[in-house]
């Protein structure tokens, strides 16, 4: 069992919610904190049983040549009574490959084929296949190695000597000139639909923005026109940078940190804006990836020890 960064982020978010809820005497914050902690606990317990009842079979050709493409087939069978979610299979046969299987229903037999290239000659033998699952919340990952025997003899590569460049030169320059034009640039050239992913990102952002507005309306009981002022939008951007824009829970942690510092400094001094700006500037400069990036680095160091 290996914990992920998401576990640290959820735990930190729950702690911040608990502190703010205690200070503001807001019961709904305690509910959110309990929900985050429940997600962490469930994300650790559920993967323990997420790989039970699974059997694997690995099949590969008996012989191949170095550099040739080889098709390796992996068969996963669920002999249990429950659906196994988020299954990922990894094997080291002929260069190794990782395949996302997804959900495996009871009694279902799924076959995954991958094309690989033999990098070295000699006997390639594999005795196990590693299955992984981080379902349902991606908090912790369970890994399990199952026996699967496969052997392939990789023969030396044979290269046919045909017309050599220094003997038979190209008859015309047009034969060696690329005539096809490229379409698109960057990710679009590789076939990635950038606009579709941007649309999905904006839809997800709008969804969570609507949830935040509903929670704000329940808490305050009114919609103040000052919420549409440009300084409020700047605060939202600053919350995202403070928590870490590269993490899903970064803006959430940044928002609670910003609100907590603001409420504490407002009650301590009339120059709270100066101290708030200085404190946040130090955090952003010292930790460019935000508080979630800092939590991830600390988690890595703790796991290594």
Give residue 170's pLDDT band: very low, low, confident or very high (50, 70, 90): very low
Stretch 170-198: mean pLDDT, rounded?
57
Q: How far is CA 1 from CA 47, 133, 138, 209, 224, in A?
A: 8, 10, 12, 34, 48
Q: In the numeric block, which tokens belong to residue 238?
A: 């600053």
- Residue 271 has a pLDDT of 82
Q: Is 182 a residue whose pLDDT tops 80?
A: no
Q: What residue spans define the domains of the chain?
A: 2-45+208-304, 50-156
Higher pLDDT, 223 or 285: 285
Task: Give the residue carrying structure tokens 């390639």.
Answer: 124
Q: pTM value?
A: 0.50
Stretch 166-189: mean pLDDT, rounded?
49
Stretch 154-174: mean pLDDT, rounded?
57
Q: Is 235 a residue whose pLDDT tops 50?
A: yes
Radius of gyration over every alpha carbon of the chain, rounded to an integer in angstroms: 27
Q: Report the alpha-carbon distance of residue 242 to residue 182 in Å, rounded.
A: 40
Q: In the numeric block, which tokens belong to residue 52?
A: 């039970």
Q: Is 168 a residue whose pLDDT tops 60?
A: no
Helix (H) or strand (E) holding 116: strand 109-117
Q: Are 299 and 5 in contact (CB under 8 A)?
A: yes
- Residue 240 has a pLDDT of 85
Q: Report the alpha-carbon distance of residue 289 to residue 286 in Å, rounded.
A: 9
- Residue 190 has a pLDDT of 58
Mean pLDDT of the chain: 79
Asked if the 50-156 domain carries CATH number 2.60.40.10, the reply is yes
Provide the angle, in degrees to the nearest 10, between the axes of the packed helices 250-268 and 230-243: 120
Nearest to 254 by CA among 282, 284, 231, 227: 284
């Amino acid at each position: 069992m290996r914990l992920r960064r998401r576990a640290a982020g959820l735990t930190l978010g729950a702690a911040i919610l608990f502190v703010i809820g205690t200070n503001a005497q807001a019961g709904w914050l305690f509910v959110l904190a309990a929900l985050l902690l429940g997600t962490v606990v469930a994300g650790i317990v559920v993967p323990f049983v997420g790989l039970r009842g699974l059997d694997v079979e690995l099949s590969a050709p008996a012989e191949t040549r170095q550099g040739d493409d080889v098709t390796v087939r992996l068969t996963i069978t669920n002999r249990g009574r429950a659906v196994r979610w988020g299954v990922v299979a990894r094997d080291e046969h002929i260069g190794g490959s990782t395949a996302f299987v997804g959900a495996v229903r009871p009694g279902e037999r799924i076959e995954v084929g991958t094309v690989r290239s033999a990098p070295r000659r000699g006997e390639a033998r594999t005795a196990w296949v590693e299955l992984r699952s981080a379902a349902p919340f991606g908090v912790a990952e369970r890994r399990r190695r199952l026996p699967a025997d496969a052997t392939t003899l990789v023969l030396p590569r044979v290269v046919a000597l045909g017309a050599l460049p220094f003997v038979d030169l190209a008859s015309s320059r047009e034969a060696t000139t690329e005539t096809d034009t490229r379409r698109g640039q960057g990710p679009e050239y590789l076939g990635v639909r950038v606009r579709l992913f941007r649309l999905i990102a904006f839809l997800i952002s709008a969804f969570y923005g609507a949830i935040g507005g509903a929670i704000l309306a329940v808490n305050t009981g009114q919609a103040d026109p000052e919420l549409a002022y440009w300084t409020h939008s700047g605060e939202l951007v600053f919350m995202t940078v403070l928590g870490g824009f590269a993490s899903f829970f970064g803006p959430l942690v940044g928002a609670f940190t910003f609100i907590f510092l603001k409420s504490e400094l407002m009650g301590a001094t009339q120059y709270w804006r100066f101290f708030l700006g200085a404190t946040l500037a130090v955090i952003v400069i010292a930790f460019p990836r935000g508080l979630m990036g800092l939590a991830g680095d600390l988690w890595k160091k703790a796991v290594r020890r």
